[in-house]
Amino acid sequence: MTDVRRTIGVVGTGVIGAGWAVRSLARGHDIVAWDPAPGAEERLRAAVERAWPSATRLGLFPGADRCRLDFTATAEELAERVDWIQENAPEDEGVKRPLLQALAAHSDPSVVIASSSSGLLPTRLQEGCEHPERVLIGHPFNPVHLLPLVEIVAGGQTSAEAVEAARVHYDDLVMYPLLVRTEIEGYLSDRLQEALWREVLHLVNDGVATTAELDDAVTYGPGLRWAGMGTNLTFHLAGGEQGMRHMLRQFGPTLKLPWTRLVAPELTDDLVESMADGCLEQADGRPIAELERLRDDYVINVMRALRPLDLGAGRIVAEREARIHAASIAAPWAEGDDVAAPLDLYRGEVEPDWVDYNGHMSEWAFLTAFGWASDKLFRFIGIDEEYRDSGSTFFTVETHINYLREASLGDPLRITTQVLGVDAKRLHLFHAMEHAETGELLATTEQMLLHVDTDTGHTAPIHGRPAAVLAAAASAHADLPVPPQVGRVMSFG
């Protein structure tokens, strides 16, 4: 990666071109864009504005500024001003070839010209270009400003220096440059996507399934696995301790069955060895059990990431949590029932994504765990989906955390909750995090929450079952000693 500010040319400013512009601007570079379509500049600037919040969440480099976007009148002017060209014209050789020739004729020979083609052969695209050795494919994936993969495909005349320059360029944009070693139509990723896409079209055309059913068949299952390991390493795990070799021996015969419209190659010994050896290389010495734990960790994290968005498996995770909570309470609280003092509602362990490079639980992860404990409390008192849908919930307005001991990956956690006070609109509570086996106190947090009417955005009285349960909890906890961390402030001395 280089910190040198550069000027990147974006030719063609549709969905892909706009994505390149956003990604490059977020990196802190200057953009010169061109597109012959009427209104193209206005559409590009609007697209950058729409995508900028997402780019900001991913992270902006110093100097990143949407104002560094300029639009030129001609492709030739653009070529003369930039030190990298990313061409994004329609997927048509008849359009791309003369455009690339014009760009090559007006740019410095040192300027690499990369086409965002999804499947055309670079050898054909570079024909007739001046200095064709600097023309290659740089195939991204939509949304370009977020997805890191870019396939680099060299043509017959492309130089090794240009390929290396492309690798450095895309690495500078914090992407994953994947070198396609063999020039082939569709490259790698699109060939895989196209196989699935064609099968989708067959299944819909034959009336076997709807588009929604087919999307569900991916998003709730293999799509979650593909996020971290892809197809081959996933199937390597399906073979158990013997990995891919056993998987192919067990499921190889199904390749003869009409499961898809694609015809599988003959499962020769050489192919079996190539698949098995490739997966072992990917495993990098890690045993199946270790890879299974890694898979389980990232699949859980992916599903949890979808939970607040109410998408796919995230909905199932939320439903699971709600059912677990319902099953953990013998019967709904009723007036006169005892309330535990303190409440003991949350048990868990330190998650893989909670630890830092030292293997210890990160500061933010303590707050995450305490947040889950608060969620358990909310469900206990009756603040569930129905209550929130009615327009009421709690907002946290102040939090004080005390870190007392380190927690490591897999450590069992127990969080108890003490209601320090409650009135018509406020809830004052205290969480204590312990090591669930040793009882050692790891951290505490004191929180103040306000009950809010979400329709008006203003505080409102707690009502219904939550008001009654909180009142009972406050009464049950009134005789508990006030924890020494309550009200603590930072000071020297």
Domains of the chain in sequence order: 7-186 (3.40.50.720), 220-299 (no CATH), 330-477 (3.10.129.10)
What pLDDT score was predicted for residue 406?
94
Q: Which amino acid is at 84?
A: W
Buried b (16+ CB within 10 A) or exposed e, 448-486: bbbbbeeeeeeebebeebbbbbbbbbbebbeeeeebebe
Contact 25, 64 (CB under 8 A): yes
DSSP letters, 59-73, are: -PPTT--GGGEEE-S
Among 450, 156, 175, 473, smallest CA distance to 343 is for: 473
Strands (E) in 250-329, as ranges, are none
Among 196, 238, 194, 235, smallest CA distance to 217 is for: 196
Q: Is the dihedral of CA 368, 397, 475, 423 positive or negative?
A: negative
What pLDDT score was predicted for residue 491?
79
Enter the pTM of the model: 0.79
Q: CA 379 to CA 482: how far, in whole Å?
A: 24
Contact 21, 69 (CB under 8 A): yes
Those residues with Cβ within 8 angstroms of residue 465's Cβ, 6 or more apart along the chain or in another chain: 333, 381, 382
Structure tokens at 175: 């992407």
Q: How many CA atoms lie within 13 A of 133 on its CB side?
A: 10
What pLDDT score was predicted for residue 328?
67
Among 395, 397, 396, smallest CA distance to 452 is for: 395
- Phi first, then psi, for residue 156 (nearest 5°) are -60, -25
Among 50, 20, 46, smallest CA distance to 147 is for: 20
Dihedral (Cα; 52, 58, 64, 65), 10-degree rounding: 10
Farthest CA pair distance, the chain: 88
Q: CA 373 to CA 396: how far, in whole Å?
A: 13
What pLDDT score was predicted for residue 253?
85
Contact 33, 21 (CB under 8 A): yes
Q: CB-based burial of residue 60 (10 Å sphere; 0-12 exposed, 13-18 middle, 19+ buried)?
A: middle
Q: Which amino acid is at 57?
A: R
For every one of its 493 residues, what pLDDT tens digit does the chain have, with 9 covering 90 and above? 456 889 999 999 999 999 999 999 999 999 999 999 999 999 999 999 999 999 999 999 999 999 999 999 999 999 999 999 999 999 999 999 999 999 999 999 999 999 999 999 999 999 999 999 999 999 999 999 999 999 999 999 999 999 999 999 999 999 999 999 999 999 999 999 999 999 999 999 999 999 999 999 999 999 999 988 888 888 898 888 889 988 888 888 888 888 888 888 888 899 999 999 999 999 999 999 899 888 988 898 899 889 888 889 988 988 887 777 777 665 667 777 889 999 998 988 998 888 888 889 999 999 999 998 998 899 889 888 888 889 999 999 999 999 999 999 889 999 999 999 999 999 999 999 999 999 999 999 999 999 999 999 999 999 989 999 999 999 999 999 999 999 988 877 6
Contact 379, 441 (CB under 8 A): no
Q: CA 261 to CA 237: how far, in whole Å?
A: 26
Those residues with Cβ within 8 angstroms of residue 316's Cβ, 6 or more apart along the chain or in another chain: 220, 303
What pLDDT score was predicted for residue 300?
87
Residue whose entry in the numeric block shows the structure tokens 């400013």? 13
What pLDDT score was predicted for residue 252?
83
